Amino acid sequence: MTNIAEDIKIVLEFYQAMGVERIPIMTEQKSRRAEEQKIAEKEVSYNVAPISKFHLTSEQKKSALNALREEIGDCQRCKLSKGRKNIVFGEGSIDAEIMFIGEGPGEDEDIQGRPFVGKAGQLLTKLIEKMGFKREDVYIGNIVKCRPPFNRDPEEDEINACSPFIRKQAEIISPKVIVSLGRISTQTLIGLKIPIGKLRGKFYQFEDIPLMPTFHPSYLLRNPKDKWLVWEDAQKVLERLGK
């Protein structure tokens, strides 16, 4: 077996011959500090406007979304397919600066095959217009594309089966900001099982895209006093967009 002390002596003599007087040693404390610095730098980078990984032309985006819709097909990937009338794929501008992502279709959406067209959708449209946009300027989708029975929350297996599609839509559209509407949308996209009341109002990251959680419009129909909180969140989005 090679003598360890002899090996060390040879290494030290090598460094001495190279003119190195001191060998830096990374202690455990320094290593920990370096790791903490990396984390801090990562957090700081979230405040910088992200550079999209995807540089698709409008025509490429349109083709990619059409291909994704074809991939979904007459989806039977989860039990929600048994009770639906229509798959609600999503709609809006393929070059949208803002993408709104809700939970799932309701009765009106299931009938029309379009997202957010009922009473909650009318409230969302008012918010979009108050922000200075038209509904057709933004993109709107949901975590699941089929209506849960009796408008119950989507279950975990349903979310797992369907959420990859809205993730792909966000990747294709590559908006400057995503607004997640409600608890299920927010928790699914950012992976934190924290109440929406504690998550809203702060930016998070979703695939290099700033994400602002806020209350779902259906919540505001039941709690209109909290509309000002959603407007507060919307103003932060507009500020991020430089509006």
41: pLDDT strictly greater than 50: no
Overall domain count for the chain = 1
pLDDT value for 243: 87
- Of the candidates 35, 37, 15, 64, the one whose C-alpha atom is nearest the C-alpha of residue 174 is 64
Predicted structure pTM score: 0.78
Whether 192 is covered by a domain: the verdict is yes
pLDDT value for 229: 98
Backbone angles phi, psi at 72, to 5 degrees: -65, -45
d(CA 180, CA 186): 5
Average pLDDT in the chain:
85
pLDDT in tens, 168-213: 999 999 999 999 999 999 999 999 999 999 999 999 999 999 999 9
The residue segments making up the domain with residue 199 are 75-241
Whether 3 is covered by a domain: the verdict is no
User: What is the pLDDT confidence band of residue 166, given thresholds at 50, 70 and 90?
Assistant: very high
pLDDT in tens, 105-144: 999 999 999 999 999 999 999 999 999 999 999 999 999 9
Whether 186 is covered by a domain: the verdict is yes
d(CA 3, CA 25): 22
Whether 69 is covered by a domain: the verdict is no
User: What is the pLDDT confidence band of residue 30, given thresholds at 50, 70 and 90?
Assistant: very low
d(CA 238, CA 222): 26
pLDDT value for 42: 33
59: pLDDT strictly greater than 90: yes
Whether 101 is covered by a domain: the verdict is yes
23: pLDDT strictly greater than 90: no
Please state, for a pLDDT cut of 90, what percent of the chain lies above it: 77
pLDDT value for 9: 57
134: domain CATH number is 3.40.470.10
pLDDT value for 14: 46
* Contact (Cβ atoms closer than 8 angstroms) between residue 54 and residue 171: yes
Whether 15 is covered by a domain: the verdict is no
pLDDT value for 13: 56
Whether 6 is covered by a domain: the verdict is no
Look at the alpha carbons of 94, 100, 103, 106 in this order and tell me if their dihedral is positive or negative: negative
